[in-house]
């Protein structure tokens, strides 16, 4: 019975992850809140933290599947001698690496601090609310200044990559949202919304793979997990992948027509409910 309950919990968390990973609402923040709400626990004291990051790879796999044509093209045209440096895969992936550097540095330096003080529902709720205010301000001030007619152009410059990478540092705070941070960074850098969003998708590939490997190493490797914990990981991974495939396509379609303000409003409402639940002793 305990195993069935554990798997059902993993299915719930996989759904939460698949829905929230690429929306600007913080998947890590939502997972922390729901893990506490349903009392999700493993045998290893660091299992839940590792689970939080590893199942995100399911959502990342959804990006690889949906954008495989683009990824394949960057590999086919990798060398500048084929299409020129500006259109080459080498330039594209160099910009991804460049954007990863600030966040990776901050993540390594402050990962333990964030885990100790911020991985709980109340800090997450506060960050969700404050991040929503930042989203509304940024969209009002910056989204309308994006160039017209280049909405899916991912030819990002080094300056733009660094700017996005610097904003991604905000995502070390659970509840801020890596997606929201990089989209805002894209706006600051002058990218249209869809281009900024899709760049954040590609940026998530090395970032989340790196974070997941870091958490697996930190816990001592997968070999120390119980069969129940491994099954739970597999279920969460698969469910998050399937849900993310649907959400990514819907999200891009939505952004082409409507503002992101609705997600900021949701964050505020959800944060208030979480704070109220905390005061009521549910966490």
Spatial distance between the Cα atoms of 190 and 62, rounded to a whole number of angstroms: 27
Tally of CB atoms within 10 A around 13: 25
Contacts of 161 (CB under 8 A, 6+ apart): 95, 96, 98, 99
Residue 118 in tokens: 């911020």
Contacts of 187 (CB under 8 A, 6+ apart): 138, 139, 142, 143, 145, 146, 193, 196
State the pLDDT at residue 176.
Answer: 93
State the pLDDT at residue 145.
Answer: 57
State the pLDDT at residue 237.
Answer: 93
State the pLDDT at residue 1.
Answer: 44
State the pLDDT at residue 144.
Answer: 60
Spatial distance between the Cα atoms of 150 and 233, rounded to a whole number of angstroms: 39
Tally of CB atoms within 10 A around 246: 12
Spatial distance between the Cα atoms of 151 and 100, rounded to a whole number of angstroms: 22
Residue 121 in tokens: 């529902």
Coil/strand/helix, residue 148 = coil
Q: Determine contact, residues 93/80, Cβ cutoff 8 Å.
A: no
Locus of tokens 């698949």: 18
Distances (CA, A) of 261 to 18, 52, 143: 21, 26, 11
Q: Report, as ranges of residue numbers, the positions in the chain whose pLDDT lies below 70.
A: 1-2, 144-154
């Amino acid at each position: 019975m305990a195993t069935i309950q554990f798997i059902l919990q993993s299915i719930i968390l996989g759904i939460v992850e698949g829905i929230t990973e690429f929306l600007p609402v913080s998947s890590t923040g939502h997972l922390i809140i729901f893990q506490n709400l349903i009392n999700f626990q493993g045998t290893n004291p660091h299992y839940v933290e590792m689970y939080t990051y590893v199942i995100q790879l399911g959502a990342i796999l959804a990006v690889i599947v949906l954008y495989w044509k683009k990824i394949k093209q960057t590999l086919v045209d990798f060398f500048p001698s084929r299409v020129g440096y500006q259109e080459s895969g080498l330039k594209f992936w160099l910009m991804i690496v460049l954007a990863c550097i600030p966040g990776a540095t901050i993540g390594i330096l402050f990962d333990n601090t964030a885990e100790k003080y911020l991985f709980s529902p109340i800090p997450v709720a506060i960050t969700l609310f404050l991040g929503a205010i930042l989203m509304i301000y940024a969209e009002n001030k910056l989204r309308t200044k994006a160039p017209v007619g280049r909405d899916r152009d991912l030819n990002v410059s080094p300056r733009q990559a660094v700017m996005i990478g610097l904003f991604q540092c905000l995502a070390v705070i659970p509840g801020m949202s890596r997606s929201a941070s990089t989209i805002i960074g894209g706006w600051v850098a002058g990218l249209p919304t869809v281009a900024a969003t899709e760049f954040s998708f590609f940026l998530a590939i090395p970032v989340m793979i790196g974070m997941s490997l870091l958490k697996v190493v930190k816990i001592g490797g997968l070999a120390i997990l119980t069969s129940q914990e491994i099954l739970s990981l597999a279920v969460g991974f698969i469910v998050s992948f399937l849900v993310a495939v649907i959400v990514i396509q819907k999200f891009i379609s939505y952004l082409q027509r409507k503002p992101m303000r609705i997600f900021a409003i949701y964050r505020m409402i959800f944060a208030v409910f979480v704070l109220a639940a905390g005061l009521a002793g549910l966490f």
